[in-house]
Structures are given as C-alpha cells and as structure tokens.
Structure 1
Amino acid sequence: MDYKKKLRLSAFARILTFSITLLFTALSFAQINRVEPPFWYAGMNLSSVQIMFYGKNIGQYEVAVSNNVVIENIKKTENPNYVFVTIDTKNIAPTELTFSFKSKNKVVFTKNYSIKARRENSKFRKSYDSSDMIYLIMSDRFANGNPNNDSSPETIEKVNRNLPGGRHGGDIEGIINHLDYIKKLGATAVWCTPLCEDNDPNYSYHTYGQSDVYKIDPRYGTNEDYLRLSQELHERGMKNIMDYVTNHWGSQHWMIKDLPTHDWINQFDVYTETSHKRTTVHDIHASNSDYKTCFDGWFVKTMPDLNQKNPLVLNYLIQNAIWWIEYANLDGFRVDTYNYADPNAIAKWTKSITDEYPYFNIVGEISMRDQAQLSYWQKDSKIGAIQSFNSYLPTVMDFILSDELLSIFNEEDKTWEKGMMKVYDNFANDFLYPNPNNILVFAENHDTNRFNEIYKNDFKKYQMAMTLLATVRGIPQLYYGSEIGMAGDRNKGGDPDIRRDFPGGWNEDSNNAFTKEGRTETQNQYFDFTSKLFTWRKTNDAVHFGKMKHFIPENNVYVYFRYTDDKSVMVIINNNSKSQTIKTNRFAESIQNYQTGNDILSGKTIDLKNDIVIEGKSVLVLELK
C-alpha cells in the first residue's frame, strides 16, 4: 500500500473515531438529563453510594463501571426513566469513573463520574454548640447584593418588592456583604432560611418548597456563591448552618413531575393534610389512622410529603445532606419540620449524618409545648427509650421558653403561674433532657410574631429577653432585625409582615441600619445593647458550659447563677415596673466568698455584702469577683 493511501485511510480512521465519539457524546447528552449526587468523595464512612441516573427510557440499558469498581446493586423502578446504581467506594482513591450503558452487550453511551478528595479532617469538623450565638436570616429579605440575579429565566416567579409575599431580591452576595455587621453583633454562626431552588409560581421567597435540592436558587446566586459564603464565614471565625428540609419538597420539583416510584411521596385517594397532632408518635392510645394522617399527610397542597420509609428516598436524602456538608464545608444543620417526617426514618437519616461526622450538630424544628414531649426527640432520651425510640437528634428547640418570652414581660401578677415563675418552671423540667446545653433558645423566629411588635418596642423588655437568652443554658438564636427594633404583626399582615426587608439592604432604602451613621437613635440603642451583651458572652465560659443554679422568683424577680469551678455569673431580672431590693444573704450558697460583682452592661461594681437595689423592668449581669 502506497504512502498516500495509508495517509488517506489514517485520516478516515481519525474522522470515524471522532464521529463515533461525538455520537456517543450526543447520545449521552440525550439519554442522561441528571446524575445525583453529581459527584462523590473518597474516604467516606458512607462508602456505598446510590447514584441516580435520569433520562428518557434509561432503564432499558445494562450498566457497568470502570476501574474495577464493584456495583453492589442496580435498582430499576416502574418508571423507565430512572436507574439507581449503588457502587462500593470504600477503597477508591480520588479518580474519574466511567459508567457504560449497554444494549445487547454493546456500549450505547457512557457517562463520566468524579470521586473527589475530601478536605483534611473533614470527618471531625467542629460544629456549633452552646458557646455560639446563631443569627437567623430570612434569605430573600436581608440584603440585595447582586440586583442582576433578582429574576432568572430558569425560575417562574420574578422580583416584585411591592408585593409583600413576593420575591424581594435578597441574596447570598447581600449576606456576604454584611457578615462584618453580623459578627459585630456577637454572632458566631449564621442560619439562612433555605437557599436551594424553589420554583413555585407564587410565594417562593421562603424557599421551603424546593424544586432542586442540589442547586442554589439562581435568584440567590450559584452553588459556588454558597461555597464562598462558607469561606467568608470561616475567615471570620464564624459557622455556616444550612436549613435542611426532609419532610417535603415543592410541587415544582422535577422528580415530583416524573416520580421514580408511586410511593416516592405519600399518597391518598383524596388530598389529605397532616393533622399536625404530633403527639401521636408516643401516644399509646393513638389510632393507626390518626398516626398515618399525622406523618403521611401533606404540610400544604404545594408541598408533597416525602415517603422516607421508601429506602430509595431515604438514601437520596442522606446522600444529599452529606454531599452539601462536604461540598459547601458546612458547620451544622437546622432541620425544618423535623418531627413531621416518619420517626424511624428520620432517626436513620440523622444517625447516618452523625456517624459520618461525630461532632456535627443538628437542631430539629420540634414545635412541642411540653418538656416531656420535646425531650422525647433529643438524642438518648430516657423518655423515648420507654418506647425503644432514639431520634439521634443532638439539639431541640425550646418552643416552650419562646412562647413564655412572648408573654411574660407583660405579666406582673405575683402568682405561681405568671411572669418569671413560668421561666423558672421551664428550667425546673430540664431533668427530662439528656443534654440541656443542646437546646436552642430564642425569643422569636420566622414563624412567630415579632417580639418588638408584641411589646410595642419597649426597650426594657427587649433587654430582659435578650439577657435571659444570653445567660441561660443552651444555644441562643437571634432573629434578623430584632437588634434594631424591627417589628411585624403576623395576625394582620401574615407571614410577610414578620419577614420584612432589612432597612439598608437595598440601594434605594433611605434608612441604612447596617451602619451606625445610617441607623436612627432608637436603632442604635437596640444594636449597641445587643452587640455589647453577645460580644461579652463570647468571652465567658460560665455561660457557655457552666452549671446553672436558680432560685424561686420572689415578687417577679428571677435570680440565677451560671458557674464553673473558677468563674461565676449572677443574673438578676426584675420583671416588676417598680424597683426591688434583693437581699443577698438568700443567695449565699452561690455567692460564696465572692465580694463584688461587675455589671457587664453598665460597668458598675456591686457590693455583694449589701442588699442590691434593681430598677423596675431591668437586668443585672454580674461577673463575680
């Protein structure tokens, strides 16, 4: 064969090879629309990874994988558009895998899949605890850092700041821009309401009806922006807490529109809403139908209820949560409607995450108003153990205390049922909790009426509430805007009124409360107090992990101590309108040999040998010397 002929054949072979490659690439693009998780990590405790491939009639193909990786299981469902492939990654170094999809033993198309390296010591990341103060942000309502992403061609609802329940344009960039402001408040962790895509046509701003749980909503930014938020927080010594939803997705979620299995969500013959009566989980007299309605019923019509009892669903949620921790370098979770999910399944979800990350904290939204019922849901609860139940949930939310804080400062009755006696009784039941330090304490959040609305911006009452949160056991949480006196009436204006835009978060705002110069005199009064209190809290181990000793309130005055072996803090809260005289000999067992107390708010020194006079509706936080 002459040289020219060889050259022509060689060129033809290259063209043919290139054409085949293009064909395979095109087929791959046409056949695979989604792969989730989009990649995984080497060296994980969860070494068996269930990878979901989605595409038109993809279930007709046989699946193989390169690099001698073991396929443990291939699950095909009644929907031919899904294949769930479980591989063993236990001994796999970071690498690129190739999945081959075959028909009659011939490769039709391939898909590359990355196994990436983890961060050093990722498994042992330190999470938030009672030394932290968490700042809760309503993501769409905090600050608009990038007006270019206010609306997106990828999502239905467009920005409309004039509509109270519409999208207003708050985003990740806006949060990053004001991290120094948050840090100055004394906050050490940030909890943003969900940031994953919510493609509901209306009221999508709260983002609890998610349509893609591997993707940040483009109106907030990108996945890379979220990773950058973590990096910016960590550079400031702060922590990133993701708001995670296990109970439901939004009706616009792409999988809801093409269910992998009929029982991927809980379905009834007719639409059935949850009863919200979550006591059925431990009620020994509960009917089966009531139990099913409570845990399988939908939260609302636009939020289909996920069936965590389906192993495919549960694995999907476990892997999605772990993927976000690794990818975004997260420091903790807050889990929405935690005890609406199937109890045993959500316990498995939680245990899988804490097995992977032993020091990772998760706080669950468990809105129970009884200490025994609330403690049932905390990890290693003796009450839960009565029914052989362990949620493995490290932290619960003290809704009982929150309810009390929204009423007690208007109660001056000197009775056993009103005022500070309610707070005393709440802490008197701490023996029910396996870990009282792992309880989230708060005065308000994005679902409650605004504290400053209820008390008509009475600054003294705000001081009492914040002082209590800063000095009792547990992890304090502050809701954005409280620190500048923001109010809002849910009864009149609905949810949007308790989720108002933070003043100064938008270029057109006339009042910029992010700066001292831009704040009003009243806003500075609130901010300065909050900053001083919680900045001090960062420095005092006694209120982080110390023991607590309290005394029965007298005349609506509550006195308690937080102490370690070498440090003690005495807190006095006077819930009377009139000043009160405190006889210190009553507290001798806690004052011991301490001579004076330095009030961290006023800077005054108090002689502990004499009676203490405290003004009406005021507080003293004394570091004992």
Structure 2
Amino acid sequence: MKKILYTLIFLNTLFLAAQKLERVEPPFWWSGMQRNSLQLMLYGDDIAGYTPEMEGIAVSNVRKTENPNYLFVTIDTKGVAGGEYTLRLKKGKRQVAEYTYEFREREEGSALRKGFDSSDVMYLIMPDRFANGNPDNDSAPGLAEKADRSKQGGRHGGDIQGIIDHIDYIHELGATTIWSTPLLEDNDPEYSYHTYAQSDVYRIDPRYGTNEDYRRLVDALHEKGMKLVMDYVTNHWGAEHWMIRDLPTYDWIHQFPGYANSNYRMETQYDPNASEIDRRYCVDGWFTSTMPDLNQSNPLVLDYLVQNAIWWIEYAGLDGFRVDTYSYNDKEAIAQWTRAITDEYPYFNIVGEVWLHDQAQIAYWQKDSKIGALQDFNSYLPAVMDFTLHDALGTVFDEDEATWDQGMVKVYGNFVNDFLYPDTDNLLVFAENHDTHRFNHIYDGDASKYKMAMAILATVRGIPQLYYGSEIGMAGNKDKGDGDIRRDFPGGWEGDEQNAFTEAGRTERQKTYFDYTSKVFRWRKDTPVIHKGRTKHYLPENNVYVYFRYDDTATVMVVVNNSAESREIDGKRFAESTGGFTSGKEVVSGKTMALDTIAIPAKTAWILELE
C-alpha cells in the first residue's frame, strides 16, 4: 500500500511539474559571460504563488506582476561553471515543479568575435522568396498560414535549406555576408512570410526549418569565410506572440489604452520643438495593428530583449544584427539595449534601420554622434543606413542634363555631408531593399544605369548591400504590393522553367547583370583601399562625376558619365589625385587607359586602378 501511495505522490508531482512550468526563457545560458546576472522568465498557470529556488546558484530577486502566470527570477551567474542546475518551485516545503537549467561552455573567442565591416559586401535575402530547399516544411502543424505560391502575399516555401544550397552562388557574386530578413516564428493568419510580426522569439519558424538548421547555415557560411547578420526586431512583436496573448504586465506593450497607430514621424525623437503627444504617437504608437509596440522602457521588457539577442548571438554564432525600425524605439532604452550587446561583444557590429532623408538626422543615431551629444544622447549604434544616398540613386540616372541641383551633383552632395558622421566606413550603402521599389523597376530594366549604380556602391565609403535577384535584372513595383518587390528567385523551386542560379540557366540579359555585378564586387573584396581608404572627389562637370579612393599604397579613380552623350575629360584637372600616375587599368574591361585625356561613353562608369 505504501509503495502505491508513494507512486501516486511521485506521479502527482510530475503532473504538477508539467502543469505549472510551461516555459523558461532563456531556455539555457552560458558560463563565462560578462553579465553577472540573468533574468529568467518563468511561465505557467498561477505560477506566481510559488517560491523559486536554484540549486547551487543564488536567487537575487523575484519579481511578480499583475499576471499570476509569470515570475521573473534574477539569478547571480558570476563564476557559475558549465553544467546542469535544478530550478525548483515550492509551495511552502512542498516542491511542485522543477526544471533542469543548463549553463553551457562558450566557444573559444566568442566574446571577441568580429562583426561585418567595410571589407564586406552584404546580400539581402527574403528567405520565403529565395529558394525552397525542403518542400516538406512548406506548411507546419500548429501554424495558421499554409503554403500557397499562387498568392502574392502568401507563403511560397523558401527556407533555410534553400539558402544553404546556394551559398556558392552568393559567394560567386562577390558577397561576403548574408542579411536575411527575420526567420523567427510568425503565426499571423496571413502575410506571415515577411516574419516581422514574430510570435516566438526563441524559435525559428518551422516553415523555414529548425534552430539547428539556423546553426547549420552559420556554420556553412563560416566554412566559406562568410558571415550571417540576423534581422532583429526590438520595436514590436506580432499580435499572435504567446506573451501578447497573455501579457505579463499591462505596460509590456504601449497602450492608449489598446491600439493606436504610429505617426511614423521619427524626427519627433530629437526635434527640440516637438510636442509630447506627437513624440508619444511616434515612439509608442504601433507600427501596424498586427504589431503591438513593445515598451522597452519597462526594465523587464528591456532585459528580456537584451538576453534574447545575446542568446541568439551565442547559440547560432552570429556576426551581426540589422535592427528593424531602430528609430521608432524609445531612444534611451534602445541605446541601453545596443550598449549591452556591444559591451558583451566589443567587435560585434549592429546596423540600425534609420529611414530618414537628411544626413544630420541619420547621423544623430550613429554611435558617438556630435549631433546627438548636443542633447546628451548617445545611441551606441555602430552603423546606420545611408538612405540619402539611396534617395539620390533612385532618381539621378534619369537626369541626363545637369543643373544646379539635378544630375550627379546629387551624389556628390551626399558625400559633402560626410563630416556629420562619426564613422563613414560604418554606413550601409544601397540602391534598394525589401521595402522599396526595385532599382530595375525604377529605371525600366536599363542595364547601363544599373551598372553605374553598382560601380558607385562598389567604390564609395561604407558597406555595400545588394538585394537578391537584382543581380539578374529582377524588377518589382512596390505600388503593386510588397509581394511584387519580393518575387521568387527563378530556379529556387523544383519545376521552375529556368534556373538563374547557374550560368547555363541565365538568359543573355541576366548574364549581363550578373557578370558585371560579380566582376566589380569580387574585385572589391580583394581591394583594401576601397575598404578603408580616404576619398577625394571633384565637382561634377557636364554630369560627369570623378572621385578617388586612395591610401599610402594604392589609388583608384572612378569616372561616372551620367549624361546622354560621350564626354571627353581633361585629366589635368585631377593632377592633385593622379600625381605621378600616367594610366589606369579599368577593372571590368581590363583595358589600360591614359589619364591625360579620358573619353568616356554616355551612361557609363569606369573604375580605374591607377598605374
């Protein structure tokens, strides 16, 4: 009888354990981290009525909220060795649940990992539209939206395996780093493919693969000397996130009460004349009704986001973050988040999406900005996106006739304002991304204009970013919907009529685009003067822009003729940059050209290595 009774008690304890402790996040951690404490989020029915203990580790704080299904337990981790530790929940002396918490050993050199920098070329992928490497995971049990490639805004089935399968293609293109739009679970009933409305931030969406698949992607890239940047979202989660469905605290998200949309006026973050209500609706307003706005000024939320970011860096071996809607976050809180990441990983790089159209306003958000310092603000954000260059590239190549403010003077003027930035090498430069018109749509598939843009991106200061498919001439009109600028890459799906991942599968037009892109960016990869060299440029004349990248060992001359006719340039004007050089070898054609007089065809860019 006693044996039966003890068995029943044991089974009852197991039942309670399963019932009372549904989630622990982070699910495990690492020994030897710089942070000496860890905030564990415990979740389960009425869990707040229990007392947490951890075998061999001190519990320094227990925070209960108005929702009894949560406990936030802070433990001291200084000196904690790798191994397993038992976390127990007790009611008086009775144990009602336990969890085996693991501290793993860090990989050697983890803290000093080197992020992406100006020697890199970033390739932006939307995984659902790139390649379907595993058709078996196109739909997943428990997730609402099923695959339907016929829908522009539906799930098409691209996945992590599809990226792994085509790393060689990306490498051949000259890219060294992949920026993938988010891969974490998004359980929205429709339009979930973009994955910016996440429903579980510790889980790769099963329609993309598994957490282990994500690690395999990083490992495969590292084997090729390449890097992976995670698209991290701090500003909002999706309405279907399990914590949004059962909020830990009322102020976990911004409420008005309930929903109010952002006014998207990021300038209210630094405008000295801004009204408080305008600032609030920018920062606290929701990006859309399906993306509740996270309250980073709540310390529980901020710690959760910091630890989640560090967890993914350590778990997957990441090389950088691109942070979505960076300037919509509470600026002081997001600065704390950013500093916490870079304190843990001092050489890790983070680029923030700061979608503004004025260099001073963009520069405000870069680490150690003198503009930000005027308001005693430092974002600690190493890199920002050069949206003003993007704006110029999106109009300038249709401006055949130069005027005071039209033509190549727009590009020249962008670099005139480089004095505003603390670190011009840490600017992401691009002609398009997943939220804009495709470059080849703007210019109606004119390859000569595409080549001029790529020549500029490949040679100016900063970190160039390419958008998947444009290197084979893909176009897309945002006015027709986001799906049109996020088309499937031809050859990424079994049964596609054409496979543009292979040379043999490309049309002649696609070869024109790919061959030029590959040529200039593979050259760039092996040309240090472009990575860290200085810049000297000359006022455009007759819509021709000339600039030099140079250091103590090499000089590169770039000539961009944006006019509709050929131009003859007197090389004497550039004597202070050409010095003792007499000729230059053009990177793409391989031809050697004299520098005294340069005759360049219409709508052409030349990259000359001076000799």
Q: Normalising by the residue count of structure 1, what TM-score does the alignment of the two structures yield?
A: 0.97
Distance across 1 between alignment mates of 2:578 and 2:112:
39
Aligned to 1:4: none
Q: CA RMSD in A?
A: 1.1
User: 1:518 aligned to 2:512?
Assistant: no
Measured against aligned partners, the alpha-carbon deviations of 1:539-574 in whole angstroms (never above 9, x if no partner) come to 101110000110000001000000110111000000
Distance across 2 between alignment mates of 1:180 and 1:393:
31
Distance across 2 between alignment mates of 1:420 and 1:46:
49
* TM alignment of 1:502-541, pairs within 5 A: 502-541=489-528
Aligned to 2:13: 24
Aligned to 1:621: 607
- Contact 2:20/2:45, CA 8 A, preserved across alignment: yes
Aligned to 1:438: 426
Q: What secondary structure, in the 3-state scheme, does the structure 2 residue paired with 1:101 have? A: strand
Q: Which runs of 5+ in 2 are unaligned?
A: none
Q: What secondary structure, in the 3-state scheme, does the structure 2 residue paired with 1:597 have? A: strand
Q: What secondary structure, in the 3-state scheme, does the structure 1 residue paired with 2:425 have? A: coil
- Contact 1:24/1:110, CA 8 A, preserved across alignment: no
Deviation at residue 582 of structure 1 after TM alignment = 1.0
Find 1:81's aligned residue among 52, 58, 69.
Answer: 69
Distance across 2 between alignment mates of 1:17 and 1:357:
50
Amino acid in the other structure paired with 1:406:
G
Deviation at residue 16 of structure 1 after TM alignment = 6.7
Distance across 1 between alignment mates of 2:535 and 2:290:
45
Amino acid in the other structure paired with 2:442:
I
Deviation at residue 26 of structure 1 after TM alignment = 2.5
Distance across 1 between alignment mates of 2:33 and 2:395:
47
Q: What secondary structure, in the 3-state scheme, does the structure 2 residue paired with 1:85 have? A: strand
Aligned to 1:600: 587
User: 1:557 aligned to 2:544?
Assistant: yes
Distance across 2 between alignment mates of 1:246 and 1:141:
24
Aligned to 1:43: 32
Deviation at residue 270 of structure 1 after TM alignment = 5.5
* TM alignment of 1:234-245, pairs within 5 A: 234-245=222-233
Measured against aligned partners, the alpha-carbon deviations of 1:127-185 in whole angstroms (never above 9, x if no partner) come to 10000000000111000000000001120000000010000000000000000000000
Q: What secondary structure, in the 3-state scheme, does the structure 1 residue paired with 2:424 have? A: coil
Aligned to 2:442: 454
Measured against aligned partners, the alpha-carbon deviations of 1:72-93 in whole angstroms (never above 9, x if no partner) come to 1100111000001100111001
Amino acid in the other structure paired with 2:535:
M
Deviation at residue 30 of structure 1 after TM alignment = 1.1
Aligned to 1:62: 51
Distance across 1 between alignment mates of 2:206 and 2:258:
34
* TM alignment of 1:171-320, pairs within 5 A: 171-269=159-257, 271-320=259-308
Deviation at residue 416 of structure 1 after TM alignment = 1.8
Distance across 2 between alignment mates of 1:131 and 1:482:
21
Distance across 2 between alignment mates of 1:370 and 1:265:
30
Find 2:105's aligned residue among 117, 121, 137.
Answer: 117
Amino acid in the other structure paired with 2:575:
A
Distance across 2 between alignment mates of 1:541 and 1:19:
71
- Contact 2:41/2:72, CA 8 A, preserved across alignment: yes
Deviation at residue 294 of structure 1 after TM alignment = 0.8
Measured against aligned partners, the alpha-carbon deviations of 1:425-447 in whole angstroms (never above 9, x if no partner) come to 01000000000110000000000
Distance across 1 between alignment mates of 2:231 and 2:115:
14
Deviation at residue 413 of structure 1 after TM alignment = 2.3
Deviation at residue 20 of structure 1 after TM alignment = 4.7
Distance across 2 between alignment mates of 1:23 and 1:237:
53
Distance across 1 between alignment mates of 2:233 and 2:343:
20
Deviation at residue 326 of structure 1 after TM alignment = 0.2
Q: What secondary structure, in the 3-state scheme, does the structure 1 residue paired with 2:559 have? A: strand
Q: What secondary structure, in the 3-state scheme, does the structure 2 residue paired with 1:401 have? A: helix
* TM alignment of 1:97-116, pairs within 5 A: 97-116=85-104
Distance across 2 between alignment mates of 1:553 and 1:401:
16
Deviation at residue 17 of structure 1 after TM alignment = 6.3
User: 1:390 aligned to 2:378?
Assistant: yes
Aligned residues: 611
Distance across 1 between alignment mates of 2:381 and 2:97:
43
Distance across 2 between alignment mates of 1:319 and 1:24:
31
Aligned to 1:5: none
Find 1:408's aligned residue among 396, 399, 421.
Answer: 396
Q: Which runs of 5+ in 1 are unaligned?
A: 1-8
* TM alignment of 1:356-375, pairs within 5 A: 356-375=344-363
